Structure 1
């Protein structure tokens, strides 16, 4: 099953709420609050095409508190 890895920039103080939403409402397998360029990283296994991963990115971007979303699709 394809693996999507999403990295997000979040408004300060919203990291834990975004983590909860990604786990409970979006069904992410793992979500971590991280240091560095991005604030939150999430991993999700889904039977999606590249278009599906893009749509998920767009839906995450709509969450209040998200300022930027990028994703990587694992190929192996």
Structure 2
């Protein structure tokens, strides 16, 4: 594996990790801002419905950015 492909793999893993950290922070902030609703489980599904597409969009953005570097 050459140095370029190694850097690409590192950037993809970094984008994935940053997306997961973003989702975790979003969930943590929801528990802080809406503690009663989150303990009852009312907003958990809505939060995940918002968070996972944002995670996918974040990873897709960085994947496109990395692919443009390859070209």
TM-score (norm 1): 0.34
TM-score (norm 2): 0.36
Between structures 1 and 2, the one with greater strand share: 1
Between structures 1 and 2, the one with greater helix share: 2
